[in-house]
Structure 1
């Protein structure tokens, strides 16, 4: 561990995570589909936007609070639901504690390594994420369990297609940890003694089951069994989305929207909010960066539902840019996991503090007293930057990475 566990940037958290984690584990965090154009484009697009700061009239105090789906949050940043968090023995529970300590909302994945009851005990402001997987009866049981645990909203993720090929190779994920598997992975694990020591000290091995998909009276399925269930489930229709909302009976956020026409259909289906998302580059490669798509969707449906964004947020300035273009809040996935890998709960808190500091600086420099005052006039937007897919604009591909870049820069 570095002598100073605190880090100044999300980029430094990523560097520490890369040094600490076994190569297959780190590879799973930065994996994107195919050549990784979209995973590169997400953060790169934020850098194309500039700020238009004011020189006089700054406010001594700034309000960074907001609400998402009626739940107050100290920061317009939510923890995005991400699967099996084997980067740290405490996994999602450590993330939940960090979220609670910083007053932000946490999204918990169906594929999490910790049960929803345990995570909700650490952070009551919890949104539970559900895939369209299994039968309607099975999904109802999962929603009932999340509701009983205290989940305040449902996140439905529909932007994960079977697009898995990667030019640099997919990360190896074992189905179970037996002696044979541990011997096979030993060359990758032994050079990272810090990660191994954390698990040895905790008295348990990395958890590869998904307890939130456990059927009543059965054992928790393994990751691949759960993944197989999803693959074999007939894809949902808009009527299915409407049914989910009615069955849940509370706030519902649809994750994975990139097209204006889909956003309008989502409103018709009764969703409460939607997230402009390309699954962090793990869906169809060459899908444009989400920040480029956000303005058209916010303009089309922002007065009817709450619009959020995820994909490529690495700085507080990125949060400010997303809010200026119409997002109510953003979700962070990889940034949170890098913090978790770097320093457990404190590392996630560190990441949230970095985003808070950067957002506060942006609000200050732009001459505002609240995040709700941010708008397009605060930005320098290059010609042709916004895209409107499925509704009046040309679906232009995102800016390409340099030709010699073969692996994603997360």
Structure 2
């Protein structure tokens, strides 16, 4: 009963185990949830062109992303405070290492980067453009000293949006008063509460990676407030930050072709086609719709990844066929973490790996590297070619 055969089942178990306010923070998108729904629904519009005979007995799923070997084309996307389980990002990092893939750690994560890198040496540190350049450099130097193999600059979280169904109450600190507020939820979800009782500590709402080593961690909302008061970065700022890091540098949040070109000019190693999982500007098209045009425009110059809506191994295959080098997952592994801790995250990665393998088998492919657009049926009008007119006007 500790094993589950789909990401959907991991989500069902996470919903059963987590207090309502914690679970609702995981599933909701911004405003009406149009982008969140499209991230999922767009994959359903794509179909496959399977083969009948001539299949290969073994398939190759391993690849290289940003110069690092990974056993499957699925990476862990950085997500904020992971109070769904006491071990948080450390459990996720260990699971990713056990399954041979890379870990992305959010600067708003609940575990120090030093602990996460120790759990998975193939860890990328994610940075938001928060505070002054000196503030950002201090976080960058801490990541370098800890042994992070690369940097992820996230720019697809640009606005603060309400949710039409309401947002859960998230306290700045777990005071005695807040504990009383959450007591009914804890009592009705005893297994989640027991996980924390066993550790003899409460869920940590601090963000240690936003502090310099030895300094107290700011609260999530303290760091969020600093982010909201920081002027948004320019492309010159992106190029400057890139110049401060001599290793792999992933820019997360590109959705337009013209901005993919700007990212290449800024010197990034890779881009992730992302809309922050539907938690940014609602009404933005699904990332899988924007992927083909971006991959066609810059895929020969930088690695193109995709983030958003991955729930099955077949979704991964669709993304690879349309030009992605690999994908990043967020909610899927958080549900696994909530359902069963580190083994649950490993379970989710296994589900995706098995789904990729079985899809390759049906398509008659020996390797993920053999996938082409001809392996999927793309309906007319499916693609969202954003920024193409601007690209042409600029002379690219």
Is TM-score (shorter-chain normalized) higher than 0.5? Answer: yes
Question: For each residue in 1:298-323, what CA deviation from the matched residue of structure 2 results, as whole angstroms up to 9, or x when unmatched?
Answer: 00000000000000000000000000
Does structure 1 residue 349 correspond to structure 2 residue 338? no
Contact kept in structure 1, 2:287 and 2:306, CA below 8 Å = yes
Question: For each residue in 1:31-67, what CA deviation from the matched residue of structure 2 results, as whole angstroms up to 9, or x when unmatched?
Answer: 2100001111101110110010011111111110011
Among 256, 259, 270, the residue aligned to 2:256: 259
* Greater alpha carbon shift after TM alignment, 186-195 vs 321-330: 186-195
How far has the Cα of 1:113 moved from its partner? 0.3
The corresponding residue for 1:299 is 296
The corresponding residue for 1:28 is 25
Does structure 1 residue 38 correspond to structure 2 residue 35? yes
SS of the residue corresponding to residue 107 of structure 1 reads: strand
The corresponding residue for 1:236 is 233
The corresponding residue for 1:134 is 131
How far has the Cα of 1:164 moved from its partner? 1.8
Distance 1:322 1:392 in 2: 24
Alignment of 1:211-230 (within 5 A): 211-230=208-227
Distance 2:160 2:232 in 1: 15
SS of the residue corresponding to residue 75 of structure 2 reads: strand
Distance 1:231 1:283 in 2: 14
How far has the Cα of 1:151 moved from its partner? 0.7
**Hey, which bits of structure 1, 4+ residues long, moved more than 4 A?**
none
Does structure 1 residue 110 correspond to structure 2 residue 107? yes
Contact kept in structure 2, 1:74 and 1:103, CA below 8 Å = yes
How far has the Cα of 1:218 moved from its partner? 2.3
Does structure 1 residue 99 correspond to structure 2 residue 96? yes
How far has the Cα of 1:220 moved from its partner? 0.6
Contact kept in structure 2, 1:128 and 1:151, CA below 8 Å = yes
Distance 2:126 2:16 in 1: 30
Among 193, 198, 203, the residue aligned to 1:196: 193
SS of the residue corresponding to residue 248 of structure 1 reads: coil
The corresponding residue for 2:202 is 205
How far has the Cα of 1:183 moved from its partner? 0.3
Distance 2:29 2:168 in 1: 10
Among 361, 379, 382, the residue aligned to 1:382: 379
SS of the residue corresponding to residue 25 of structure 1 reads: helix
Distance 2:43 2:300 in 1: 24
Query: Structure 2 regions of 5+ residues with no counterpart?
Result: 391-396
Distance 2:86 2:136 in 1: 28
SS of the residue corresponding to residue 242 of structure 2 reads: helix
Distance 1:43 1:327 in 2: 17
Question: For each residue in 1:10-39, what CA deviation from the matched residue of structure 2 results, as whole angstroms up to 9, or x when unmatched?
Answer: 000000000100011001101210000111
SS of the residue corresponding to residue 110 of structure 1 reads: coil
The corresponding residue for 1:404 is none
Query: Structure 1 regions of 5+ residues with no counterpart?
Result: 394-410
How far has the Cα of 1:369 moved from its partner? 0.8
Contact kept in structure 2, 1:96 and 1:123, CA below 8 Å = yes
How far has the Cα of 1:392 moved from its partner? 4.2
How far has the Cα of 1:215 moved from its partner? 2.8
Contact kept in structure 2, 1:31 and 1:171, CA below 8 Å = no
TM-score of the pair, normalised by structure 2: 0.97
How far has the Cα of 1:188 moved from its partner? 2.2
Distance 1:128 1:260 in 2: 25
The corresponding residue for 2:147 is 150
The corresponding residue for 2:12 is 15
CA distance 1:349–1:216, shift in 2 (3 Å): closer
Distance 2:214 2:343 in 1: 36
